[in-house]
Every structure is written in C-alpha cells, then in structure tokens.
Amino acid sequence: MPGERGGEQVKIGYPCINRSLGCSANRTFRLSSYSGERLETTVAENLACLKRILTFNREHGILFFRITSDLVPFASHPVMDFPWQERFRKEFRQIGRLIRESGIRISMHPDQFVLINAPDPGIVGRSVAELRYHAQVLDLMELDTTAKIQIHVGGVYGDREGSIRRFGDNARVLPEKVLRRLVVENDDLRFPLADCLRIHGEIGLPVLFDAFHHELNNRGETLGRALDLAGETWGKADGTTMVDYSSQEEGKRRGTHAATLDPRLFSRFLKDSLPHDMDVMLEIKDKERSALAALGIALNDPRLTLQKAGMGS
DNA sequence: CAGTGTCAAGGTGGA
DNA sequence: TCCACCTTGACACTG
C-alpha cells in the first residue's frame, strides 16, 4: 500500500478544490440571486464536479479529501426553502459509495463564521445550524464517524479561560449527529494544542493537529510529542489521526500557506513524524499538484521503506 | 467580454 | 467607533 507505516496507510490529501479538472464543486451565487431553481442547478453541478474530483483522486491514489462547505450554498441560511436533501438523496448516496469503495478519508472544515464559543447566542445558533448542515452532507453520503468536521476553538473575547469553558459547555449539548463527527483543531494565534487537549479532557473531542499552526503557536512540544498527544485523543470510531500540514510561504506574512510543496520540508516532516499513523491534509495552494508530489515523496522515502520492512505487516 | 468591486455569517487590532 | 485584514474563489456589475 502507498506510504505504509505502522501497519496502517498514510493517506495524503488536499482541500476542496481541484485545479486540473476545470470544474468547481464550490460554485455559489449572491444571496440576492437566490431562487430554488438557481439552487437546484448549482447543487447539481457541484455534486457532479465533486464526483469527478473524487474519481480523479482515486485514480491518482489521493485518498484523503476535504469536501467544500459551499457544496450546498446557503444551506443553513433562513432563505433556504429548497428540499435539497430529498432532491439529491440519490446523488449523495452514490458519491458516498464511491468514497467508501475507494477507501477515501473525508473531512469538512466550516469556515471562520462558525464559533460555538461566542458569547452572543445568535452567533452560536447560526454556528450550530451550519454544523448540522455539514453533518447532514456526511450522513447523506452514509459515511461512518471517521468522516470528520473540524473547527477551531473560536474567539478569545478578552477572556481565554471563559472562552474555553464556553466552548466545552456549548459543544457538549450539540446534536449527537454533529458531536460524533466534531474535532477541534489548534490555531496559529489564539488556542494552541494544549488548549485543545484540555477540551478533549473535558468533553472527549478528538484533536486535529495542525502542524503549521503548531510551529507558530505552541507550548514547547516537539512534533513527536505533539503527535503523541493528539494521537491519543482519537478513538477507534474516529479513525486514523488527522493532521493538517503546510509551510510558510517565504516573503509573505507569517502564517501564509505555501504556494507549492517544499519537498525537503515535507520529507523531513514525514521523517520526524515517524512512527505515528496519520492522514495528512496538505494546505498548500496548488492543491492536487502538491498532493501528487507528496505522494511521490512518501512512496520513495527510504525511511518509510525501512519502516515498512521493520513493521513487517 | 475583460476588468474589478463585492460577497451570509466574525474576530482582532490598529487608527 | 471605524476600517483593514484574515483568505479565497467566484459572482455579477461596469464600461
């Protein structure tokens, strides 16, 4: 198997967009142009493109993919009046089958507006609605609980402790369909790995380890130690530990994701991460191009070959 | 039809 | 209190 280590497979992936295929699964439109008809057309096109992307990925051995949050535009917005779940039930199920039969790992990442630790209950309410939509997509695809929805802790609101506590309090009471898929990710400015681990200790959410954010914001844990700690938070039903990977784009502001994969840095990352099992999401701007390059590096890395022989699976 | 201002949703920090 | 920035593609209007 590609990139095998520790008896498991390292899956490598990229988020949301494929630049080779000439289609987009995240087409949307302005709220002012909303109509049921427009919605139906757009979702049909998005699902068709998603299917193409997943097929491309399978054919290239890219077995980890983040599905765009824009698959169904305005899904959690009050304007939504189209029964997209029923209308596209068959398509979702088909895509889900393709995912399962290909052994593809799936994640979703609601964006910055989803803040379940906000002091404003209105913001929390809208965030929960958005999370329910994400869970619905994965449920309609009939994916198991290894398909995850990743969010950050959220804002500080001038009170770190209070904000962490509020995250726990609000997460705890989320609908079970959301909670069983929810994972919390360390960010580069506010809440590092240590805070996410505390949240895990309190409410049991797995911690998605973002290696680049960790470089920028940590409490001194080495990569190996961090992977130990994050890895322990993933239970059997959660699947292999998910890890986000990127590196600094030189000459750009701190935290800017690289435009393309730096093979030497990635090779070193793979080496330093041994012997941890993980599925790696490459947050690199050129998407599948870097994923293919990463796959080549993982396949050809002699240390991985040694590891494979050593583990004898 | 190319160029460009703008887009559901928030937080943060500087002016 | 206001505004740019985060980060990004793509919509949709302008000329």
Q: What is the pLDDT of residue A251?
A: 80
Given a contact cutoff of 8 angstroms between Cβ atoms, the answer to whether A193 and A226 are in contact is yes
Among A205, A277, A215, CA closest to A241? A277
Core vs surface per residue A39-55: b (16+ CB within 10 A) or e: beebbeebbebbbebbe
3-state secondary structure of A249: coil
Q: What is the pLDDT of residue A13?
A: 95
**Which residue do the tokens 């914001």 mark?**
A217
- Asked if residue A248 keeps its beta carbon closer than 7 A to nucleic acid strand C, the reply is no
CA/C1' separation A244–B11 (Å):
22
- Asked if residue A290 keeps its beta carbon closer than 7 A to nucleic acid strand C, the reply is no
- Asked if residue A218 keeps its beta carbon closer than 7 A to nucleic acid strand C, the reply is no
CA/C1' separation A39–C15 (Å):
30
Consecutive 10-residue averages of pLDDT for chain A (313 residues): 53 94 94 95 96 96 95 96 97 98 96 94 96 97 98 95 96 97 96 97 97 94 96 96 92 86 94 91 94 89 42 36
Given a contact cutoff of 8 angstroms between Cβ atoms, the answer to whether A108 and A66 are in contact is yes
Q: Which residues contact A229 (CB under 8 A, 6 or more apart)?
A: A193, A197, A207, A221
Q: What global pTM score does this model have?
A: 0.94
Q: What is the pLDDT of residue A254?
A: 84
**CA distance linking residue A186 with residue A188, whole number of Å:** 7
Q: Which nucleotides of B are covered by protein (CB under 7 A)?
A: 7-13
Radius of gyration over every alpha carbon of chain A, rounded to an integer in angstroms:
19
The pairing of beta strand A207-210 with beta strand A182-185: parallel
Q: What is the pLDDT of residue A8?
A: 58
Which nucleotide across the nucleic acid strands is nearest to A163, CA versus C1'?
Answer: B11
Q: Which residues contact A2 (CB under 8 A, 6 or more apart)?
A: A9, A10, A61, A63, A295, A298, A299
Helix, strand, coil shares, percent, chain A, to 5: 50, 15, 40
**CA distance linking residue A123 with residue A166, whole number of Å:** 13
**CA distance linking residue A288 with residue A293, whole number of Å:** 8
**CA distance linking residue A96 with residue A64, whole number of Å:** 14
Given a contact cutoff of 8 angstroms between Cβ atoms, the answer to whether A11 and A312 are in contact is no
Q: Which residues contact A236 (CB under 8 A, 6 or more apart)?
A: none
Q: What is the pLDDT of residue A34?
A: 95
**CA distance linking residue A87 with residue A140, whole number of Å:** 12
- Asked if residue A102 keeps its beta carbon closer than 7 A to nucleic acid strand C, the reply is no
Q: What is the pLDDT of residue A7?
A: 45
Q: What is the pLDDT of residue A307?
A: 40
Given a contact cutoff of 8 angstroms between Cβ atoms, the answer to whether A190 and A155 are in contact is yes
CA/C1' separation A156–C1 (Å):
21
Q: Which residues contact A4 (CB under 8 A, 6 or more apart)?
A: A10, A304, A308, A311, A313
Q: What is the pLDDT of residue A300?
A: 65
**CA distance linking residue A154 with residue A134, whole number of Å:** 18
The pairing of beta strand A11-15 with beta strand A148-152: unpaired
